[in-house]
Structure formats: C-alpha cells, structure tokens
Amino acid sequence: MILSADLQAPLRRLPRTVVPAADESLDSYLRRLAHANRLNPDELRRWLTGNRKSDPVAVASLAAVSGRPAASLRWAMLELCSRDDLASMRLRTRPDPFGPTRPECRLCSLARGHEVAPHCRHLHEHVVCLRHQRWIGSARDQTMRTKPSLRQHPEILSANVQHRRLIRRHGRHSVISAFREATYIGRSWHQRQEHDDSYRELMERFHGADWMISTVDPTIPAATYPQRVALTMLLMKHRWPDKPADESPQLAAFIGELRRTAAPNYEWSRRSYYRRRDPLVEVIDARYDDPDVLGEFDINPRNDTNWLERHLTYHYAGSAGRFRGLPNID
C-alpha cells in the first residue's frame, strides 16, 4: 500500500497498472488507477502535478506512474494530446474529448477486466450495448445508475441498429442534425403526453401495469428512443427545397409516412397549445424561416463531427501545448 508520505517522493511506477479504456476521461482513469493502488484520487493527482492540483497532468508523468506507454495513454484519452498530436491522428469516429462522460456498460467493463466501470465520452448513437442488450444511455442521463435490460424490448435494439445504419449510409453530420430535431419533437410530445402510445406500451413492459417511476428513470429515454429514430429517418428523407404549403402533396406524403411509422394519430395543425405550437410544425418552419432557432433544439452539441476544428480554432491554450479548461461552448 502507498502511504501519503510516499507521494512526496519522485514519481515512480505504482504496483498495479490499469489499462485505459477508449475515450475514457482523465478523471475516470486517475480514479481507477488510485482505486487499484488504494490511493486517494486527489493525492494521486497532486503527486503527478507536484502538489498543484489544478495543473494539467503531463502525459510523461502519468506514463511513469501507471507503467503504460505514453502513446497508448494519449490514444485512449485524447484530452492528454497536444495540438500537433491531434492533428496527426485519425479521429473521424472519435467523440469530442471534452464532452460529457457516462459509465460504460458494466458487463463490457468486467469482460475487459476493469474492476470499476470507466467513465467515457461516447458518440451520440452509442446508447445501447448491443452485445449485452442493455440501455446504457447518453451522458445527458447523468443520474442513471442502472442499465435496464432490453431483452424484452427488441424495438429498442432494432432502432439502435437502424440508427447506426443511417450514420454509415448518410454520414454522422446529417444524422445528428435530424436526430436532434427528432429528440426535441419526441421529448416535447412526451411532456405533453401526445403521440406516446408506443412509449406507454414499452414502459408497461419495463415496469408492469400501473407503473410509477422517477422522472429521471433511464427507461424514459429508452422508451422514447424508437419513436425518435423513426422521426430521424423521416426528417432526413423529407427535406424540401422550399417550405411546403399546408395542403401540398409533399406534406401529405410526409404526414402519411409519419402516421405509419412514428405517430399514428398525428394531425398537422398550426394551433397553439398553451402558447406552444406543435414541435414538429415548429421544427419544419424553423428550417425555412429561422434556421438559427434550430440551435435551440440541440440536445448534445459537443457530440458532433466538428469538435476538432472548433477546439483548434477557439479553445487552444497554447503555452502548455495542450487543451485545458474549455469554456462552455454550447
């Protein structure tokens, strides 16, 4: 066991090493390394930074203490990289290294030999562990401690397969844009208890009849997910060069497909409900009348495809040769 007094000594390798998970946050890795060596994570950080807790952790120090090669630490935790490191890597399919994190699937973590589940950044479609058929949710679901089983919910699993397929076919950028719109619409309908028959059916399968749950229960985003993916597909498919008139054949075709796939009783209406219009009408109108408003529908703006360019342009803290302390850019 390492004693606190030992932490005043020069850096040396700890008895137990820990393999970093892909896209793990530095905080999570330090917590797991400290746990494996029975250390306090804050003391470990101070040891690495020479007692200055707020200073960035140098990758060379972490390599010396963890016994892991610096290159593998950088590759797993992109926040350790310098600007030049990032520019030389192939990062097309990696999530924003400064985005929010969530715990990985516990069963995957155990299979990889992690005693404690690492907290990792993730791409927006990685909300389901298809291998273990569990809902792992997004970093937005900060409060979720359980990962609901999806063994009785094939709709949610196949929605995730469709979601990933959409990204392979059409590219991440266009899918995430439609998925944000769809999530805004789906959440708004859910709050108003509209078009939520499939949600209620899925919730009953999760919890039985007469279910009552907390408003932050992870089954809520899971049960709205198939509708959000169906809406995403529709919103991607139906993009018109000009705003369609209310009685136009384009809009009629769109609504017909919407009723078949995502909202069987949907009626297109510009009436307001408690001063709010139907969210689908809002999104379609905003596309043509005020595209800037679409930013308000963002659900997780950090998880996009432009994070590298954005950080290089606006948020590079040059002198230390690394990124640090990024302000809120949402």
Q: How far apart are CA 117 and CA 114, in angstroms?
A: 6
DSSP code per residue over 94-130 = ---TTS--EEPPHHHHHHTT-SSPPEE---TT--EET
Q: For residues 28 and 232, which CB has a smaller minimum distance to Zn ion in the complex?
A: 28
Q: For residues 106 and 287, which CB has a smaller minimum distance to Zn ion in the complex?
A: 106
Choose among 6, 58, 62, 60: nearest CA to 29.
Answer: 62
Nearest distance from C-beta of residue 288 to Zn ion, angstroms = 42
Nearest distance from C-beta of residue 9 to Zn ion, angstroms = 39
Nearest distance from C-beta of residue 294 to Zn ion, angstroms = 34
Residues engaged in binding Zn ion (CB under 5 A):
105, 107-108, 129, 131-132
Q: For residues 99 and 103, which CB has a smaller minimum distance to Zn ion in the complex?
A: 103
Q: For residues 72 and 149, which CB has a smaller minimum distance to Zn ion in the complex?
A: 149
Residues β-bridged to residue 120: 24, 102
Nearest distance from C-beta of residue 145 to Zn ion, angstroms = 16
Q: For residues 86 and 117, which CB has a smaller minimum distance to Zn ion in the complex?
A: 117
- How does strand 119-120 pair with strand 272-273? unpaired
Q: How far apart are CA 35 and CA 41, in angstroms?
A: 8
Nearest distance from C-beta of residue 132 to Zn ion, angstroms = 3
Nearest distance from C-beta of residue 106 to Zn ion, angstroms = 8
Q: How far apart are CA 20 and CA 66, in angstroms?
A: 10
Q: For residues 132 and 140, which CB has a smaller minimum distance to Zn ion in the complex?
A: 132
What tokens were used for 144? 């979720």
φ, ψ dihedrals at 129, nearest 5°: -90, 105
